[in-house]
Amino acid sequence: MLKFVLARIGQAVLVLWAAFTLSFVLLQAMPGDAVLIKFLNPEYGLSPEQIAEIRADYAVDGSLFAQYAASLGNLLTGDFGYSVQAGVPVSAQLAVNLPATLTLASLGFATAVILAALLAFLSSFSAGSRLRDLIQSIPALFISIPVFWLGIMLIQIFSFRLKLVPVIHPGPWESLILPVLTLAVPISAPLAQILIRNLDEIETRSFVSVARAKGASRGRVLFRHVARNAVLPVLTIAGVLFGELLAGAVVTETVFGLSGIGSLTERAVSHQDLAVLQAVVIVSAAIFVAINLIVDLAYPFLDPRLKPRAGA
């Protein structure tokens, strides 16, 4: 068991390193850099010598490999460097923006899971009726709605028409309701689809017939026997979808004017603020890898068949 855990952690570290290297190479391949974009502006009236000096300060003039080694070294000590645009350490920017995005993403994810489970169990209970066809077509609808459009529509309907959720000076929780919904809807769709399919598939297994033949009620069979087996494969997908959630947060935060990693990323991209982008990539990759690591390590506890056999 320990060997398995160590191997999985080793893999996770490897993935993080690969993400760092790949993003470094890609970001360096872009023409120009943040220093040039900011200080070549004629308003500053800087001479080429002065610019070269600033470039040396930000350590963007060394060889590619030297820069790579320097930023990898800094990263290992927890130093993400300076944001050229804002002139503050990137870690300070992350400290401000990360909690907001994590709250949004976790709430969005939780809502998506509830939504998906609701759809799947409704579909399972309505087996054999027309309602079922309707329920089963909802995920396809959810997945085809663009996030930005959904956000705008939700604001239109709930804030302006129904005046249920204020947009001007909302409370800390009120301001989250619509963004969380916007984020949850597209994520819930694939979860619901897979859960519905698994429930239907498990329903035909003979151990379900045996449970019914024991005299167990419909609800008991569904929750104790069918659901426990059906959620297992969903777990993997859920881990992967969390990555999509971070991407979705960029659009959602922009639409709702929230500050967070999403809006930070958007600003950094338009100003080619490489240190910030690099940090965002690393932090997202770390969260993604951590979640999938947890999923992998949780499997043997949820499915006894995956537990390494002791001594056998």
Partner 1 sequence: MTTPILDIRNLRVSYDANVPHCAVNGVSLQVFPGEVVALVGESGSGKTSIAQAVIGVLQGNGRVDGGAILLNGTDITRWSQKRLDAVRGAVVSLIPQDPTGSLNPVMTIGAQVREILTVHGKARGKAADRRVIELLTKVGLSQPEVRARQYPHELSGGMKQRVLIAIAIALEPALIIADEPTSALDVTVQKRILDLIDELRWEFGTAVLFVTHDLGVAADRSSRLIVLKGGEIQEEGATADILVAPQSAYTQRLLADAPSLSAPARIVRRSRAGETPLVAVENLIKDFALPDGGVQRAVDGVSFGIDPGTTHAIVGESGSGKTTTIRAVAGFERPTSGRILIDGLDARTLKGETLRQFRRKVQLVYQNPLASLDPRQSVFSIIEEPLLNFAPVARDERARRVAAILDRVGLTQATLARRPHALSGGQRQRIAIARALILEPKLVILDEAVSALDVTVQAQILSLLAELQADLGLTYLFVSHDLAVVRQIADSVSVMHEGRQVDHGSVEAVFERPTSAYTRDLIEAIPGRRRQSQGARPNPSETAEGYPA
Tell me which residues touch partner 1 (CB under 8 A): 127-128, 203-207, 209-218, 220, 224-225, 228-229, 232, 302-305
The two most distant CA atoms of the chain are separated, in Å, by 86
Cβ proximity to partner 1: between 132 and 271 the closer is 132
CB of 310 to partner 1, least distance (A): 11
> In terms of CB distance, is 77 or 206 closer to partner 1?
206
Choice between 227 and 280, CB closer to partner 1: 227
Q: Is the separation of the CB atoms in 35 and 84 below 8 Å?
A: yes
- The alpha carbon torsion through 203, 209, 215, 219 (nearest 10 deg) reads 0
Residue 170 or residue 300: which is nearer to partner 1 going by CB? 300
Q: What is the DSSP letter of 30?
A: S
Question: Cβ distance 118 to 193 under 8 Å?
Answer: no
Residue with tokens 């060889």: 63
Closest contact distance (angstroms) between CB of 220 and partner 1 is: 7
Of 124 and 265, the one with the shorter C-beta distance to partner 1 is 124
CB closer to partner 1 out of 103 and 229: 229
State phi, psi for 204 to the nearest 5 degrees: -90, -5
Token representation of residue 289: 């890898």
For the CB of residue 227, give the shortest distance to partner 1 in the complex, in Å: 10
Six-digit token string for 52: 């070269």
Q: Is 80 exposed, middle or buried (0-12, 13-18, 19+ CB in 10 A)?
A: buried
Smallest distance, Å, CB 216 to partner 1?
Answer: 5
Closest approach, Cβ 3 to partner 1, in A, equals 11
Supply the minimum distance, in Å, between the C-beta of residue 292 and partner 1: 21
Q: d(Cα 283, Cα 98) in Å, to the nearest integer?
A: 9
